[in-house]
Amino acid sequence: MRPLIWASLVLVGGAFAGVTTVERLSQQTRSVAGEAARVTAPDRPSLSRSEVSAPPSHDLRLAADTRGHFHADPQVNGMPMAMLVDTGASIVALRESDARAAGLQIDRARAPHRLSTANGVVEAHGATIREFRLGPIILHDVEAVIMPDAQLGKNLLGMSVLRRLRSFEVRDGALWLRG
């Protein structure tokens, strides 16, 4: 009788551990897939990792201009700011005058960045945006660089914002951002 009880306990425990392990592996797979892969469904933007405080039901649509560019008007630390969305920019780039108006300080503890741009190599200084608001999307502690006004024609909304969204995609002549 005792071997039967032990066998039952081992089977029940093993089944529970197996289910738990499968659940954990499934969660890890979803997490890794969410960070590394992009899955597109016909009626929704591609899915990726999220670090935003907007509810998942909030989408933001940015219409393309006549040249196919996407413009956004976020608030940087509460200051309205015009930006060009640039998926080729690895980080948000701000004109020095706009950064100063938003209360951003150059982080002197960081070494200056040397950036390759269409105008050649330029020096930029790192900063952290406390709060970045774009419609219903709110991000905190966004990496940015500050560049001299003469070297940056327009502020750039780069991947330091876009990669923190649940998803973004171009569809039907618009850029869809999902917070």
Residue by residue, pLDDT tens for the chain (179 residues) are 544 444 444 444 444 344 333 333 333 333 333 333 333 333 434 333 334 444 455 789 999 999 999 999 999 999 999 999 999 999 999 999 999 999 998 877 878 888 887 778 888 999 999 999 999 999 999 999 999 999 999 999 999 999 999 999 999 999 999 98
Residue located via tokens 């590394």? 36
Cβ atoms 153, 159 nearer than 8 A: no
Report how many helices (DSSP H) and strands (DSSP E) the chain contains, helices first. 3, 14
HSE of 174 in the Cβ direction (CA atoms, 13 Å)?
10
Q: Which two tokens stand for residue 23?
A: 């659940």
- Tell me the whole-structure pTM to 2 decimals: 0.67
pLDDT for the residue numbered 58: 78
Round to whole Å and give the CA distance between 106 and 112.
10
- What distance lies between CA 139 and its chain's CA centroid? 8
At 57 the pLDDT is 57
CA 92/CA 94 separation, integer angstroms: 7
Contact 94, 151 (CB under 8 A): no
pLDDT of residue 59: 87
